[in-house]
A and B are shown apart, each in its own frame.
Chain A
């Protein structure tokens, strides 16, 4: 097949200036509207409808540390209750672990680490009396504090190494 040879005099020169103008306008638009959104993480929860708290007597006794070696405690059948009270400004006033006050004042990394250790000791032991955690939360508590405690609880594992699934929360009645 014979190719047609281009002669220099017939060469068509496109005017690129108009296209460049348009391209710069598009570029300006994209630069001005570009706003990189911050990286967001998430805490996944599966929340079935609320269920009744079990074995409250046992819960209070075990959390207060008075059940040591009590043979009547049936492992894995209790609900550990954490109560969070708030100051009027929404920050944490205190955190009650079962019946025992654990933290006072605003919650920080040290407080969360302490809570984590206490929960691990209680939940992950083979003879543990608890298979569920329920948070009783002051309605005035701010969301960030509540979420911090929820994250610590959701990281807990049961004695068989499975993640703690029975995690719930209820609102305390306003004073």
Chain B
């Protein structure tokens, strides 16, 4: 069976519409990609609270996300990290954002909103330890993360 095609009869599909469509799809995916989710540990099973409000920064743009697993350990990008060391470092960084006059005050409120993403099975003892450590370092504003409904990806 002869498979040769003469140059006169060669069929060249117009690829431009396909390329347009593919670029539109790439643009869509680039826009919806969420790099913030890298700091969120999606393996955690957050509590389900129907009345949880949508995320509101309350004017505080600086956020510190703490992922706490069911054993009460802090996870930073999936790695178990000592809570005290991590909070001390973050508190120092947050303190630097205060006006120079306030930086040396010991009881000053830090301008960082602590977002706690804790597994629903973690005991109160462990979560209270997180709160106490945060408060001892000057963090006052907290947001407790929860799902509004069952996680469809779970």
A interface residues (Cβ-Cβ under 8 A, vs B): 16-17, 19-20, 23-24, 26-27, 30-31, 33-49, 86, 90, 137-144, 146-148, 150-151, 155, 169, 171
- A147 touching B47 by the CB < 8 A rule? yes
B126 CB to nearest A CB, Å: 8
B interface residues (Cβ-Cβ under 8 A, vs A): 15-16, 18-19, 22-23, 25-26, 29-30, 32-34, 37, 40, 42, 46-49, 51-56, 58, 115, 117-125, 127-128, 131, 135, 140-148, 151-153
Closest A residue by C-beta to B122: A143
- B127 touching A146 by the CB < 8 A rule? yes
CB contact between A147 and one of B115, B123, B144 (< 8 Å): that residue? B144
Chain B CB within 10 A, most for which of A40, A46, A143 = A143
Closest A residue by C-beta to B128: A171
| 19 A-B contacts (beta carbon < 8 Å) | A16-B15, A16-B19, A20-B15, A20-B22, A23-B26, A30-B29, A30-B30, A40-B146, A41-B51, A42-B146, A43-B49, A44-B56, A45-B144, A46-B140, A46-B142, A139-B125, A143-B47, A143-B127, A169-B128
- A19 touching B19 by the CB < 8 A rule? yes
Closest A residue by C-beta to B53: A41
Closest A residue by C-beta to B150: A38
Main secondary structure of the interface of A (DSSP, over half): mixed
- B143 touching A45 by the CB < 8 A rule? yes
- B140 touching A140 by the CB < 8 A rule? no
Bound-state CA distance A155–B143 (Å) is: 15
- A42 touching B144 by the CB < 8 A rule? yes
- A40 touching B145 by the CB < 8 A rule? yes
B80 CB to nearest A CB, Å: 18
Which chain B residues lie closer than 8 Å to A23 at the CB level? 19, 22-23, 26
B36 CB to nearest A CB, Å: 9
Known pairs A20-B19, A41-B55 / 16 extra A-B pairs, C-beta < 8 Å? A30-B26, A30-B29, A31-B29, A36-B32, A37-B34, A41-B53, A41-B148, A44-B56, A44-B142, A90-B121, A137-B124, A139-B128, A140-B125, A142-B122, A143-B122, A151-B51
Bound-state CA distance A23–B141 (Å) is: 45
Which chain B residues lie closer than 8 Å to A141 at the CB level? 123-124
- A42 touching B135 by the CB < 8 A rule? no
Bound-state CA distance A146–B145 (Å) is: 13
